[in-house]
Structure 1
Amino acid sequence: MTRITIVTDAWYPQINGVVRSIENTNRELARMGVEVSMITPQGFSSIPCPTYPEIRLSVATYASVAREIEAFGPCSVHIATEGPLGLLARRWCLKNNMPFSTSYHTRFPEYVAARFPIPIRWLRAFVRWFHNAGNGCMVATASLERELARLGLRNLCRWSRGIDQALFRPMPQEAEPFGLPRPIFMTVSRLAIEKNISAFLSLDLPGSKVVVGDGPERANLERQFPDVHFTGMKTGEDLARAYAQADVFVFPSLTDTFGNTILEALASGVPVAAYPVTGPIDIIGDRSGAGALNEDLQAACLAALSCSREDARRLAECYSWQAATRQFLENVMSICHAGKLHHLSQDPR
């Protein structure tokens, strides 16, 4: 049986794209007969991340991480994040000649630079150092792959994303959802500075604006935009019902590497408005009819009102977690094989 250890600093109780991607991938890997062990912050003491206390930083030792990997005996290790656990697992893999892959889920340099006075060139150098040590770095889209290649990252390979098309689906629309007049412009997001939510909320749009989600910026946004309806966090069927009531899904982020919520909205039959950046440009493109991209986000929102809900759902049907997980597993097995061949070529015997 194939055995893979996945190491991530992002895990429950966080709800974000990294957590959802790994959760869905693990479910599909189990169906494929792959055994997975997880190393997450839940297994260690932790401290709150400065400026973002909802994120917990693990206080782990090299020995404790090494014990967990060695006890499971994987054929390969996948490191999902550049945090404390990721760093310790990277060190163990290099010390023990274990083939390992990484993934680039978050624009780490921009994310950190928005919170701390660290030169972005130092952070980009760290990203190169972290990911280039592995046998492969998985990225979700073609545009991100080109961008990272320009920054000097090597061994890039594709790992797309999927969507639960049974949960997120078109549903009958209410005349006044949330007690608000239509059209409903909605975003679903962690409410954090890097998500650029205020760019959406400051737009002059007809109808109503709805924000689903929670995070450290929520109180500031509620004070700044008292006419916006904030629902708080929703999950499962409640989240699916909320999506289905939107007329346009607005994705204002300039820093995401994919945008899982874009797929959730599309699967719900909701056209998307976004900037033409990595993620939206890869999913929506300029010919799908499922949304509108524009450097002027207001223009994108108004154009998306005329887009087809049927085209939105049709585009989402191109994405499945089964296909994305096959891609992940193929990457892991290829990396594992290449890493072992390299190790044998370096063996002086």
Structure 2
Amino acid sequence: MPPRIPRVAFFPDSFHEVNGVAHTARQFTAWAGRTDRPFLCVRAGDCSTPQLDTSSHGQLEVLELPRGPASFALDKDLRYDPLFPRHGATILRALKRFQPDVIHITGPSELGMLGAALAHHLGVPLAASWHTNVHEYAARRSTWATRVLPMRRQAGAARAIERTALGAAALFYRSARLLFAPNPALCALLEARTGRPCRLMTRGIDARLFSPDRRTAPPATPGQGFTLGYVGRLSVEKNVALLGTVARELAGRAQQNRQVPVRFLIVGQGSEEASLRATLPGAHFAGVLRGEALAAAFADMDCFLFPSHTDTFGNVVLEALASGVPAVVTPDGGPAHIVTASDGAGLIATDAAFASSVADLLNRWSLDPAMHASMRARARAYAATASWDAVFSGVYQAYDEVLFHATNASGGPR
């Protein structure tokens, strides 16, 4: 007799927004629909009243709830509603009707906290994904406050904020029976801080959408130069100021006739856009792109720069590699794991060495175009192996091994 497929109630922090958490949430929900699994997605949306959609999706159900006037922006595309618990009774009714075997949250947002509370109330096992290094975000977002301190104390204050935020996040995640994280280092950290089992939940890629075949620009040549690209939120925690450092390094070398021409293509929006426009005066700012327009932008790049230290995975790095674009990333977080696994499809460089590493790489490409072509081929080959089906099948396997196998062994299901 085949094993029973668990009924999953999924509470993503974000769904419609343009970020890695939302992208993964959309893919997970779509996969559950394609594979006809009993799946309830509880999410925030732009609707004016709560909307439950149980039709035309097989066993997939969606409960979309509005954020209210008390909500405020965390960034241009991300909001938080402190009064979201007003929807608690509506969600509770939906959960009692759906009868989930597991509630899966994606972080300490208003949705995540409500999902965790309802799991406890109903006695349903809780799974939690760690998608965002909230402690590092907190430290970087607090610079407006630490700036008033003497310079010698600012770094210490930032570290204290990061430690406090990590402790609070670990306490929250300890309420779950099963954790997921997108890279091995985070899995080890979470297991050590929470005492809970943590399974790897990486990311997949649509290799048909993100492809070198989408390129509309002519092939890069030493004479025409290279297009350097960035895709993501233009915000402090993404460390985008480092792109300006790259531009200054390249400009300085160009004055000495030691650098090939470059262009910057910036995709995204955020609070640092004005500052970036000042430091990248010749750059093309494309704004937020989706679908085929985004895929074409990736394919038109020759090198992808991702200076973030806070990304737990780095969906955009995988999308760049799938588009045949080598990437330069920092040593921290998920992007470094991707580049390391890609077998020569990019570089890892510290902030201090980032700009010179990019400049040196471009010069090597100009002298040896075959090196650029080889890195492009390696990038595509690695990314083409990343499958959403494998990622989400692994999630369900972890549900069974950690949540239900242990429950059944101790006397049957709840």
1:108: Cα distance to partner? 0.8
1:345: Cα distance to partner? 9.0
1:286: Cα distance to partner? 7.1
1:312: Cα distance to partner? 0.7
SS in 2 for 1:89: helix
Q: For 2:224 and 2:297, how far apart are their aligned partners in 1?
A: 15
1:68: Cα distance to partner? 3.0
Is residue 2:75 matched to residue 1:52? yes
1:99: Cα distance to partner? 0.7
Q: For 1:90 and 1:339, how far apart are their aligned partners in 2?
A: 20
Partner of 1:320: 387
1:48: Cα distance to partner? 4.0
- Matched-pair identity in %: 27
Is residue 2:354 matched to residue 1:297? yes
Is residue 2:250 matched to residue 1:183? no
Q: For 1:137 and 1:283, how far apart are their aligned partners in 2?
A: 21
Conserved 8 A contact 2:312-2:334: yes
Deviations 1:19-41 (A, max 9, x none): 11111122222222212211112
2:7 to 3, 11, 15: 3
Partner of 1:41: 44
SS in 2 for 1:328: helix
Q: For 2:401 and 2:275, how far apart are their aligned partners in 1?
A: 47
Deviates more, 1:292-301 or 1:160-169: 292-301
SS in 1 for 2:100: coil
The structure carrying a bigger helix percent of its residues is 2
Q: 1:163-312 maps to which residues of 2 (within 5 A)?
A: 163-171=205-213, 172=215, 174-175=217-218, 182-203=225-246, 204-205=249-250, 206-285=261-340, 288-295=343-350, 296-301=353-358, 302-303=360-361, 305=365, 306-307=371-372, 308-312=375-379
The higher-RCO structure (CA 8 Å, 6+ apart) is 1
SS in 2 for 1:114: helix
Deviations 1:30-64 (A, max 9, x none): 22221221111220333443552532223322333
Conserved 8 A contact 2:74-2:80: no
Deviates more, 1:321-330 or 1:47-56: 47-56
Q: For 2:119 and 2:194, how far apart are their aligned partners in 1?
A: 22
SS in 2 for 1:81: coil
With normalisation by structure 2, the TM-score equals 0.76
Q: What is the aligned residue count?
A: 344
Is residue 2:28 matched to residue 1:25? yes
1:256: Cα distance to partner? 0.3
Q: 1:118-137 maps to which residues of 2 (within 5 A)?
A: 119-137=161-179
SS in 2 for 1:315: helix
Q: For 2:292 and 2:133, how far apart are their aligned partners in 1?
A: 30
Q: 1:66-81 maps to which residues of 2 (within 5 A)?
A: 66-81=92-107
Structure 2 CA distance for partners of 1:286 and 1:102, relative to 1, 3 Å? closer
Structure 1 unmatched runs, 5+:
none
- Code of the residue aligned with 2:234 in structure 1: it is L
Q: For 1:167 and 1:298, how far apart are their aligned partners in 2?
A: 30
Q: For 1:124 and 1:166, how far apart are their aligned partners in 2?
A: 38
With normalisation by structure 1, the TM-score equals 0.90
1:338: Cα distance to partner? 4.7
- Code of the residue aligned with 2:235 in structure 1: it is A
Q: 1:138-157 maps to which residues of 2 (within 5 A)?
A: 138-152=180-194, 154-157=196-199
Conserved 8 A contact 1:199-1:252: yes
SS in 2 for 1:119: helix
2:108 to 82, 85, 94: 82
1:341: Cα distance to partner? 4.5
Structure 2 unmatched runs, 5+:
46-64, 146-159, 251-260, 366-370
